[in-house]
Amino acid sequence: MALDVLSAGLGAAITDSIFNPLAMITVRLQVDKERSMYRSFGQCLARIISEEGLLRLWTPGLVATWLRALTQTGLRVGLYPRIKGLYGRDGLLTKIASGATTGALGAFLANPVDLVRVRLQSEAGRLGSDGIYATGLRTGQKPRHAHTFRAFLDIFQQAGMRGLWCGAPANVARAALLSAGQLATYDQTKQVALVHGWSEGPRLHLASSCFSGFVAQVACMPADVVKTRLQNGHHRYEGVVQCLGSMLRNESPSAFYRGFTPAASRQVPVMAVQMPIVEYIRKHVFGLEYL
């Protein structure tokens, strides 16, 4: 079981390192609810590059991104075959239930890591010599957290252990929907393709991954936006229900798909790269069966 989780976590860490800029842009768009800083994906990208530099598309929250890959993604992808085996059947509903189970479990256990990642990516900017943000969402303010590991301590000191699980219900819902959509689609697509003469290998893994990534993002996007708003901490929502009500009253239903373009632009290629890497590590590094 440990090798299942490790192979998935390593594959996710490699992939998330490549696509970290898209994750950061998604977070920036989601938390900028009044569009005061970023009007669109392209404008957000251009502004970050011009104000903060090209490297700052990768570095904010990167360590937290690696920790999240090794924990949350490792658990939700790595445990999928075992959980599906426990359910005892191989139908589509079983695959959906298995994906939702591992997604929820991984998200709950790794919520502190995801919380820190969102905090660091949402407020990133260029620091002036006086230690004040010269650009970014917190212009004119000091950074809340000096670095990734300090962020864990800061949040714990300010809000206790409960604070590290801020936004957990939305995070669990988002991960359950994403994992159910991704893994069930990936598994089912592979199964159908194998019946129709495809062979197990990179071509099948790539095709199944692309389709599963899009389905997963459509399914989880509303929960993803709510999760980011709660974890960011700039907007004082009392919980999931209050956040949902506030978004519906003050914005519009389209707010639940705010940042969908960068999110889908990240999710589809992430899955296209991630799952073939995970499958390769499972089979050729650790000697496990394909997913």
- Give the residue ranges of DSSP H helices in 164-239: 168-195, 202-232
Residue range of the domain that includes 171: 2-285
Please report the pLDDT score of residue 185 as a whole number.
97
Q: Does residue 174 form part of some domain? A: yes
| Helical axes 260-280 vs 41-52, angle rounded to 10° | 80
Q: Does residue 194 form part of some domain? A: yes
Inter-residue contact 96 to 185 (CB < 8 Å): no
User: For the purposes of burial, counting CB atoms within 10 Å of the CB of 280, is it exposed (0-12), middle (13-18) or buried (19 or more)?
Assistant: middle
Q: Does residue 93 form part of some domain? A: yes
List the CATH number of the domain containing 14: 1.50.40.10
Q: CA-CA distance, 240 to 143, in Å (whole number)?
A: 26
Collapsed DSSP state (helix, strand, coil) of residue 233: coil
Q: Does residue 17 form part of some domain? A: yes
Q: Does residue 251 form part of some domain? A: yes
Collapsed DSSP state (helix, strand, coil) of residue 249: helix
Please report the pLDDT score of residue 31 as a whole number.
80
Q: Does residue 18 form part of some domain? A: yes
Q: Does residue 291 form part of some domain? A: no
Please report the pLDDT score of residue 201 as a whole number.
93
Angle at 138 between CA 70 and CA 35, to 5 degrees: 90
Please state the domain count of the chain. Answer: 1
Global pTM reads: 0.84
Please report the pLDDT score of residue 266 as a whole number.
82
Q: Does residue 50 form part of some domain? A: yes
As given in the structure block, the two tokens for residue 34 are 């009044």
Q: What residues have CB less than 8 Å from 26, skipping those under 6 apart?
A: 228, 259, 262, 263, 266
Provide the residue-wise pLDDT of the chain in tens; the chain has 291 residues: 899 999 999 999 999 999 999 888 888 888 876 677 888 889 989 988 988 888 888 888 899 999 999 999 999 999 999 999 999 888 999 999 999 999 999 999 999 999 999 888 887 666 666 777 667 667 777 778 888 999 999 999 999 999 999 989 989 999 999 999 999 999 999 999 999 999 999 999 999 999 999 999 999 999 888 888 888 765 677 888 888 888 889 888 888 998 888 888 888 998 999 999 999 999 999 999 999
